[in-house]
Amino acid sequence: MLNGTTAEIVERKALRINAAKTCQPIGAMYASLGIHSCMPHSHGSQGCCSYHRSHLTRHFKEPVIATTSSFTEGASVFGGLANLTQALKNIFTIYNPDVVAVHTTCLSEVIGDDIPTIVKRAIEEGVVPPGKVVIHANTPSFVGSHIVGFANMVSAIIRYLSEKSGEVKNQINIIPGFVEPADMREFRRLTTLMKVPAVILPDTSGVLDGGLDGSYEMFPRGGTTLPEIRSTGDSMATLGFGHFTGHPGALTLETKHNVPAQLFELPIGVSATDELIQSLRAFAPDGAVHPAIEEERARVIDAISDMQQYYHNKRVAVAGDPDHVISIVRFLLELGMKPVYVITGSLGNHFEKRLHELLDPVVPDAKIKQQADFFELHQWIKNAPVDLIVANTYGKYIARVEDIPLVRVGFPILDRVGHRFYPTVGYMGALRLIDQITNALFDKKDRDCAEEWFELVQ
C-alpha cells in the first residue's frame, strides 16, 4: 500500500499528490497564539477551524484554542457580518481576551466579506469592549500556504498594533519566522546572554510548550504582550529571520515606523548562527560575545570534526518549508553532505534562486523545485537513491518503503515528541541536528549490515 509510487516520472501541471504544504489559516492561527491573551478567530465554517486546531494540536501535543464564525448555508450566501458580530460578542463575554485575531478562510474570501468594515461596525455598536483589540489578516486557503498565512498575520499584527512615540528604546525586535517554541526560547536565551533587550514577535514559548501544574489557564503566561508589540515602533532595529516568514514583518515595520530592518536566513548551523551573533554584537553594551556562546560554537565545530567521516558525500533529500529547507541545506553543506534533491510545496522564486546559489558550485546536478510534492520526490529517489531524508513527518512513507534514515525537521511532526522542547536554531540547535543525523545513519547501518559488521563501537 505504501509503495504505490512509480519510478516513471510524468509531468503534472496542476495535480499535487501528497503536497508538501498546508493552508494559510494554520500559519495565521499559529502566529496569533504568539500574542499574550489573544484568541485566534477563524472566519469561516466550523470544519475549517477544527482542522486547523487539530493539526496544530497534533504537532505541539498541546490544546490549541480558537473560535469560529460557524458559517452555515445562510452565511455562505448572504455574508458573514451577523456571524462575526455575534462571535465577537460571545468571545469577549465568555473568554475575555485582550486581542481577537481574525483570519479568513476559503469561504469568507470567496464571498468577499469586508472584515475591517464589519469590525468597525462592531466597535461602534459596543460589541468590542473599551480597551480590547480586534485585528485581522486575509488568509485564503486556495492561495499560498501556511507560511504565507503566518507572514500575513505577523504583518497584520504590526500594522494594527505597533506604535512610535519618537523616543528610540534600547531594544531590538526579532521576528523569528515559523519556528518551534523552543527556537523562540533560544532566541531569547541568546539575546539575554548578549545583554541585548529584545521583543520577540510572535513568541509561542510558554504557550505551546507549557508544563502541567494542576491548573488550566485559557491564556497561558507566554506570548508577546500588547505593550511590547506597541513598543516595536521605537526599537533600534528589527531582525527578521527567513525570507518567507520573517522578512515581510520586518519590512512592514520599516515601512510603517522607519525601524531599520536587518534580514537573515534562519540561524540553523554554524555560519547562519554566526551571522546572528555578529548582528547582536552591534547592539551589545560592550560588543563582546558571551563566553558561553563561544563554548557552544566550539562544541559544534568539534562534533562536526569528530564525525566528518560519516557525513562525507552522503546524498541527502530535503523537503519542507522554504525557510527551513534553505538553512538546512546550508548546514548540510557545512557537514560535507550533498543535498541532491531539495523541494518545497510553497511558491516563491527566491527558493530556487537561493538554492542554486548554494548548490550549483558543489552539487551542480541537484534537483531543486518549488511547488513540488512528496510523490515526485519519491520518484526521484526511486531513480537515484539517497542516504538520508530530512523532512517533516510526511517523509516517513518514503523512508519506510526505501529503507532510508529520516530526520524529522519542520512542520508538521505528528509522530514524535521533543521538537517543541529542543531548538533547531543556534549552536545548540546545530548540536541537536548533528545528534539526530549521526544517530539516524548509525541506526541504518546497524539495522542493515551483515552480522560480521555489527560493531559494538561506531
Residues forming the active site:
106, 110
For cell 510558554, the residue is 206
Query: Which amino acid, one-letter code, is at 96?
Result: N
Tell me how far CA of residue 408 lies from CA of 21, 259, 290, 359, in angstroms.
15, 36, 31, 22
**Contact residues for 415 (Cβ-Cβ < 8 A; gap 6+):** 393, 396, 408
| Buried-exposed string 117-133: b where 16+ CB fall within 10 A, e elsewhere | ebbeebbeeebbeeebb
Radius of gyration of the chain (CA): 23
Which residues fall within 8 angstroms of residue 41, CB to CB, at 6 or more apart?
66, 67, 68, 69, 87, 91, 100, 101, 102, 103
